[in-house]
């Protein structure tokens, strides 16, 4: 455990005028309050608050935040009280400690409706004083660093909560280093096999090509010295989770992944940033589409930097970030830079964002209505990167990466979004699903009587647009959803041996935080709520018996009572994927994945499209999907791969060789799966095998739907 004088020394490194006496008193008080308490590892409990305080010194935070870290568990876990902390350390610190205590008591990984309500409370606490969440993030970081001492099920719960909430929140606040470490620590718990595989392959790559980081760093430094530009250059390999996420997003094998190395150039002036960019682009070939200028268009959390990806030494792609020292301080501390000290004074960094302004920007579009929509909006906003578009008058509209003209329309006004029928980008008419890019000028075309379409939900990227579309659809289709929800409720109650009644539904609605039983049935019918959640709200002991297995004949919601369905052979959609139906006369409805290219031929036939959703819940492993594998041509490899597929609870229904070479086979394997999550688990397991050179989902568009 860090001694109090060592902790004070850490603070004095950046704040020589620190109130050392107050830190000593807080240290002594916290140690006395936690005396006799121990962590799961067997260490004295007070080692944890001290470690949290030490993490916060790395961000050069003020004395009040350091003292709050030392005391953050006293009110919750000891005989200490709010009034006593106020008397000893002042009202401001007591308020901060109380705020952290309230955050700790929020069950952010609870049921969806409760989680949404608690998420709103989290943001309310943040809006009062953002230092509360800084302490909570440091608390979570230390807990994740020492998570091995917890029970396995507790580890999994904390890791999921970290991955879904705290890591993206740290990233949204500009604390990218913390986000990356939190993600990787959670990844180590949630998918240790995949992480170990990536590390193993990375070590093999270093053995084959040597450590390229010092070589490329030396290349960049030499380039700068020749041009007499003063700058610091740092290089590093990206973390295992960052590499794995890129593999998942791009569906690439590790061997085909390129930019696994990142480099930073820290300059003295903004002009030097652009000079360095020019030198790097002259020396190496820039990768098209991989350049971002966050200096001229900074992120809302104050982040400024130039990002570019180039084909560096030996053709390896590397990402280079270029920024000044002041920009780097904000990039490291994010919103926390507002409280950073240097030489005993609050560091006046022109790029640091005012926390009050930042939190208001993050929440300004979140209405006081639906808790679930608030939760979705917050999560979307936390994960989003930004693009900047212009109105015909030249005003800037900020949107998340991947936004479409529909998102743009709703960003201007809900009325414009609801009545949108088309869009022009840079003067040219474009489809509504077009992804907008930085610097484009967008004009929305509206028409009276137009209403949002259900398919828009799969097109838009912003929480505001999704919420407005859902609200409009609920109002338009409410009667149909209520009727369908009533039938789903009846079946769900019969399944657990209970009879549905208005009183039971009213009680369930109240438990789930809904207005009444009509709202409950509307949510149930629109697939925003599952029948299992309703049963859990009333009869948790019955729901605990295990998830209801959804029969394949009723796996899809949104069909008329007399409509049958089948999955398209071309794209083989799985439960959990976004889907749409196409009607065929006399053949019912054929279900396609929303991104299936075969849908293009039906664009001019909107009357044949049916908005569908998979039933949420446990599906049986009967849905076929094809995988294309390239494997080593060695004895026993094929048998081993088949056994591995079986270990993942996937049945092989067909197998065809498409290419045979002396050193490898290419084959298509058809497997039966539960859902898209089952598919991703299987792909990860196969990807980790050394005998598998490549594996990908195989969609044969030549097959008839």
Element (H, E) at 418: helix 414-418
Tally Cβ neighbours within 10 Å of residue 67.
Answer: 26
Q: Is 215 exposed, middle or buried, given 0-12, 13-18 or 19+ CB atoms closer than 10 A? A: middle
Q: What are the b/e assignments for 387-405, b being 16+ CB within 10 Å?
A: bebeeeeeeebebbeebbb
77 is catalytic: yes
CA distance 688 to 11: 44
One of 76, 180, 293, 577 is an active-site residue; which one? 76
Q: Is 301 exposed, middle or buried, given 0-12, 13-18 or 19+ CB atoms closer than 10 A? A: buried
SS3 state at 654: strand
CA angle 572/575/581 to nearest 5° reads 60
Q: Are 243 and 194 in contact (CB under 8 A)?
A: no
Q: Are 26 and 49 in contact (CB under 8 A)?
A: no
Q: How far is CA 520 from the centre of its chain?
A: 28
CA distance 376 to 378: 5
SS3 state at 480: helix
Q: How far is CA 283 from CA 78, 327, 447, in A?
A: 61, 25, 52
120, 109, 105: which is closest to 370 by C-alpha?
120
Query: What stretches of 226-376 adopt beta strand conformation (E)?
Result: 231-237, 261-267, 285-293, 306-311, 317-324, 341-342, 345-346
84 is catalytic: no
One of 77, 164, 219, 696 is an active-site residue; which one? 77
SS3 state at 231: strand
Please list the active-site residues.
76-77
């Amino acid at each position: 455990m860090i001694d109090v004088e060592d902790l004070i020394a850490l603070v004095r490194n950046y704040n020589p005028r620190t109130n050392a006496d107050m830190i000593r008193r807080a240290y002594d008080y916290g140690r006395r309050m936690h005396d006799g308490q121990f962590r799961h590892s067997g260490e004295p409990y007070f080692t944890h608050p001290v470690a949290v305080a030490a993490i916060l010194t790395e961000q050069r935070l003020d004395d009040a935040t350091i003292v709050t870290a030392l005391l953050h568990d006293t009110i919750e876990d000891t005989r200490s009280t709010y009034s006593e902390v106020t008397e000893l350390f002042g009202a401001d610190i007591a308020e901060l400690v109380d705020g952290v205590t309230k955050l700790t008591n929020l069950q952010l990984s609870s049921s969806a409706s409760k989680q949404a309500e608690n998420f709103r409370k989290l943001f309310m606490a943040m809006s009062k004083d953002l230092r509360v969440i800084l302490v909570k993030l440091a608390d979570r970081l230390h807990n994740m660093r020492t998570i091995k001492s917890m029970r396995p099920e507790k580890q999994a719960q904390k890791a999921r909560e970290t991955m879904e909430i705290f890591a993206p929140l740290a990233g949204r606040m500009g604390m990218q280093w913390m986000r990356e470490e939190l993600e990787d620590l959670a990844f180590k718990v949630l998918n240790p096999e995949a992480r170990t595989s990536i590390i193993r392959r990375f070590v093999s790559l270093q053995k084959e090509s040597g450590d390229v980081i010092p070589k490329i760093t030396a290349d960049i430094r030499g380039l700068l010295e020749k041009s007499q530009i003063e700058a610091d250059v740092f290089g590093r390999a990206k973390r295992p989770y960052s590499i794995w996420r890129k593999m998942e997003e791009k569906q690439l094998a590790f061997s085909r992944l390129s930019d696994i190395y990142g480099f930073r150039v820290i300059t003295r002036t903004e002009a030097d940033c652009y000079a360095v960019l020019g030198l790097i682009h002259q020396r190496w070939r820039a990768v098209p589409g991989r350049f971002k200028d966050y200096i001229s268009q900074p992120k809302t959390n104050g982040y400024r930097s130039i990002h570019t990806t180039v084909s560096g030494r030996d053709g390896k792609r590397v990402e280079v970030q270029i920024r000044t020292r002041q920009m780097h301080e904000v990039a490291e501390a994010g919103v926390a830079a507002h409280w950073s000290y240097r030489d005993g004074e609050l560091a006046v960094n022109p790029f640091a964002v005012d926390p009050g302004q930042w939190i208001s920007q993050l929440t300004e579009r979140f209405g006081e209505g639906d808790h679930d929509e608030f939760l979705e909006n917050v999560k979307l906003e936390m994960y989003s990167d930004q693009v900047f578009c212009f109105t015909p008058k030249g005003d800037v509209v900020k949107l998340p990466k991947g936004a479409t003209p529909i998102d743009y329309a709703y960003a201007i006004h809900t009325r414009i979004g609801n009545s949108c029928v088309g869009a022009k980008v840079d003067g040219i008419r474009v489809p509504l699903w077009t992804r907008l890019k930085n610097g484009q000028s967008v004009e929305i075309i509206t028409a009276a009587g137009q209403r949002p379409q259900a398919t828009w939900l799969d097109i838009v990227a912003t929480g505001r647009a999704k919420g407005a579309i859902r609200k409009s659809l609920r109002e338009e289709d409410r009667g149909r959803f209520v009727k369908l929800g009533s039938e789903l409720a009846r079946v769900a109650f019969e399944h657990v041996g209970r009879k549905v009644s208005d009183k039971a539904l009213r009680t369930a609605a109240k438990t789930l935080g809904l207005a009444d039983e009509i709202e409950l049935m509307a949510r149930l019918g629109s697939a925003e709520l599952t029948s299992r959640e309703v049963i859990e709200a009333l009869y948790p002991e019955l729901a605990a018996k295990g998830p209801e297995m959804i029969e394949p004949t009723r796996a899809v919601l949104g069909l008329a009572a007399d409509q049958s369905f089948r999955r398209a052979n071309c794209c083989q959609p799985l439960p959990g994927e976004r889907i749409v139906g196409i009607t065929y006369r006399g053949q019912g409805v054929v279900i396609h994945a929303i991104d299936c290219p075969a849908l293009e031929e039906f664009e001019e036939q909107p009357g044949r499209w049916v908005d569908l959703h998979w039933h949420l819940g446990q599906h049986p492993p009967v849905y076929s999907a094809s995988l294309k594998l390239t494997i080593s041509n060695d004895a026993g490899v094929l048998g081993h791969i088949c056994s591995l597929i079986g270990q993942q609870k996937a049945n092989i229904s067909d197998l065809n060789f498409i290419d045979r070479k002396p050193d490898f086979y290419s084959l298509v394997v058809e497997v039966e799966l539960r859902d898209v999550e089952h598919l991703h688990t299987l792909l990860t397991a196969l990807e980790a095998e050394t005998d598998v050179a490549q594996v990908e989902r195989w969609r044969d568009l030549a097959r008839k739907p």
